[in-house]
Amino acid sequence: MMQVLEFRAMNTRVLLAADGLERARSGLWAARGLIEGLEFRFSRFVGESELSQLNASAGRWRQVSPDLMDLLQLSLGLHVETGGLFDPAILPDLKRLGYDRSMDELRDRGAELPAARDRAKQHVFGRLEVDRAAARVRLPPGMEIDLGGIAKGWIVQKAADVLHSYTAACAVSAGGDIVFKGLPIDARYWPLSIEDPLDPTRSIAALRLGPSAVATSSVVKRSWKQGERLRHHLIDPRTRESAETDWLSVTVLAPDMALAEVYAKALLIAGGLEAPALAAQRPEISYVAVESGGALVASGVNLEEIREQSLAIAQ
Amino acid sequence: MRPMRIALRFWLAATSVLSFLAGWIMLAHSPKPAHSVSTSAGAPLAALAPMSMLAPLAPLDLSGPLGNVGVASPQFPLQQLPPRVSLQMPFFSTGGS
């Protein structure tokens, strides 16, 4: 028996599912409480959030909570591992390209024309200084960071861990970031559909998954016009512009949500030429990418199997 | 006067005892007060009256110097819908952020 709880948080639809009855129900409330308690702490759009206060104190050492310290250290490790393709310090460039307000506002009112680049604000995340023993960090002057995706993934993972302590099988989904824990008693897999990036009402592939974490990055979903140019939210740290990639979206399957989230971004920015080498350094991850022409590219996932499963589920 | 006094005492004692017994009998036969629905009664789950449930309070984070800065925000109204029981697997899809 599956208990399902749906609500809005982190600016998206959240779905929690847990196998069982009373205890599962308690777990759902506990997981929801955790998500609602954490969702605004790492948002750059909330002026009093811990992240906004850290950004405002660039140039000075600042005490941070253990949660933010964990998140920053995790981000630093993955920044190095992805050769800098994952870089939370691209926030000034994201703002310059128009993403200085929520996506809803941006779509309603459009973006202002880009300001000139401010070299003093162009940093790489690796320059962040961390003093773990004293629980403090220092951003170089002008550095601003955006932990949007990885923070969401980190919260989803935490919520799934909490929910899993109440039930043997559960899932937490937040806007396409999904963690599956255990397997439902009456099913041998978790069904997952990958949306067509050009038509989200259409499924482009269907997978049957065991316990895992899933994240998808797309250059289509969060896009806007700035003057005559089409922008999207995935900034290539090498060019400081919206990434020019031959892929429309990448779905990554990984044992951990933060890993799935970061690699989905980095592989999409890397594109078809560089992505295979980048993914090869993490044998535990698999991915399915959609090329700009609509074809599927996969690694660690059997494409024939995906097609058969898609057909079986469609029937 | 004396027989009257004895009769009055007897009457008062008798009516008190009878009134007490009548009250006892009425209470014993009156309907029981409604209790909250018990799931151990063996009733099918779909037949149970839905209980209104409060969402848990957001946990306090006092571990860091910033405390629970930004934990609460009035931006989104809380939806207090209780979890629903589903016999089918929920539909999971991923399309990116």
The CATH number for A315's domain is 3.10.520.10
Query: Do A221 and A158 sit in the same domain of this protein?
Result: no
Residues with Cβ within 8 Å of residue B29, at least 6 apart in sequence:
none
Per-residue pLDDT band for B67 (boundaries 50, 70, 90) equals very low
8 Å CB contact of A5 and B69: no
Same structural domain, A154 and A237: no
Same domain, A161 and A21: yes
Place B34 in a pLDDT band, splitting at 50, 70 and 90: low
Mutate to test the interface with A, among B76, B87, B92 (most CBs of A within 10 A): B92
| Within a domain: A184 | no
Per-residue pLDDT of A120-154, as tens digits, reads: 667 789 899 999 999 999 999 989 999 988 999 99
Question: A250 in a domain, yes or no?
Answer: yes
Sole residue written with tokens 């307000």: A101
Query: Are the Cβ atoms of A197 and B96 closer than 8 angstroms?
Result: yes
Residue A291: Cβ-neighbour burial (10 angstroms; 0-12, 13-18, 19+): middle
Are the Cβ atoms of B83 and A12 closer than 8 angstroms?
Answer: no
Report the domain count for chain A: 3
pLDDT 10s digits, A234-262:
888 888 888 889 999 999 999 999 999 99
**Strand ranges (DSSP E) for B1-97?**
84-86, 93-94
Dihedral-angle region of residue A300 (phi above 0 means left; psi in -120 to 50 means alpha; beta otherwise): left
Boundary-marking domain end, from A179, A203, A229: A179
Chain B interface disruption, residue of A13, A38, A40, most B CBs within 10 A: A40
Residues across chain A: 315
Query: Which residues in A lie closer than 8 A to residue B57 (C-beta atoms)?
Result: 33
**CATH code assigned at A88:** 1.10.3980.10
Q: Given this model, what pLDDT does residue B51 score?
A: 57
Secondary structure (3-state) at A193: strand
Q: Looking at the complex, does the CB of residue B29 fall below 8 Å from at least one CB of chain A?
A: no
pLDDT confidence band for B62 (50 / 70 / 90): very low
A242 with A159, same domain? no
Q: Do A2 and B86 touch, CB atoms closer than 8 A?
A: yes
Residues in chain B: 97
> Nearest by CB to B94, which of A152, A176, A220?
A176
What's the rounded mean pLDDT across residues A23-42?
A: 92
Nearest to B90 among A7, A17, A22 (CB): A17
Q: How far from A179 is each of A8, A97, A156, A250, A313, CA to CA, in Å?
A: 17, 32, 7, 17, 21
Query: Which residue range(s) make up the domain with A19?
Result: 1-42+147-179
- Put simply, the chain B residues between 41 and 80 with a CB less than 8 A from any chain A CB are 45, 53, 55-59, 61, 63-66, 68-73, 76, 78-79
Determine the pLDDT at residue B66.
35
What is the rounded average pLDDT of the residues A185-192? 86
* In a shared domain, residues A16 and A66: no
Domain limit, last residue, from A121, A155, A179: A179
Contacting residues of A for B64, CB less than 8 Å apart: 50, 63-68, 135
The mean pLDDT of A93-99, rounded to a whole number, is 82
Nearest to A214 among B65, B81, B94 (CB): B94
The verdict on A106 and A230 lying in the same domain is no
- Please state, rounded to an integer, the average pLDDT across all residues of chain A: 88
Report CB contact under 8 Å: B79, A7.
yes
Q: How far is B38 from chain A (nearest CA, A)?
A: 12
| Residue B76: pLDDT over 90 | no
- C-alpha A33/C-alpha A72 separation (Å) is 23
* A225 and A299 assigned to the same domain: yes
This prediction's pTM? 0.75
The pLDDT value recorded for residue A222 is 78
Same domain, A117 and A201: no
In a domain? residue A244: yes
Q: What are phi and psi of A93, to 5 degrees?
A: -75, -40
A187 to B89: CB separation less than 8 angstroms, yes or no: yes
Q: Are residues A202 and A308 in the same domain?
A: yes
Same domain? A199 vs A74: no
Domain end among A179, A201, A234: A179
Strands A190-196 and B93-94: parallel
Bridge partners, A91 (sequence order): none
Residue A266 lies in a domain: yes
Same domain, A296 and A205: yes
Residues A141 and A151 in one domain: no
Question: How many A/B residue pairs have CB atoms within 8 Å?
Answer: 161
Torsion of CA A78, A82, A83, A89, to 10 degrees: -50
pLDDT band at B46 (very low <50, low <70, confident <90, very high): very low
Q: Which long-range contacts (CB under 8 A, 24 or more apart) does A137-141 make?
A: A137/A54, A137/A61, A137/A62, A137/A64, A137/A69, A137/A72, A138/A59, A138/A60, A138/A61, A138/A62, A139/A54, A139/A55, A139/A57, A139/A58, A139/A59, A139/A62, A140/A58, A140/A59, A141/A58, A141/A59
pLDDT band for B65, please (50, 70, 90 cuts). Answer: very low
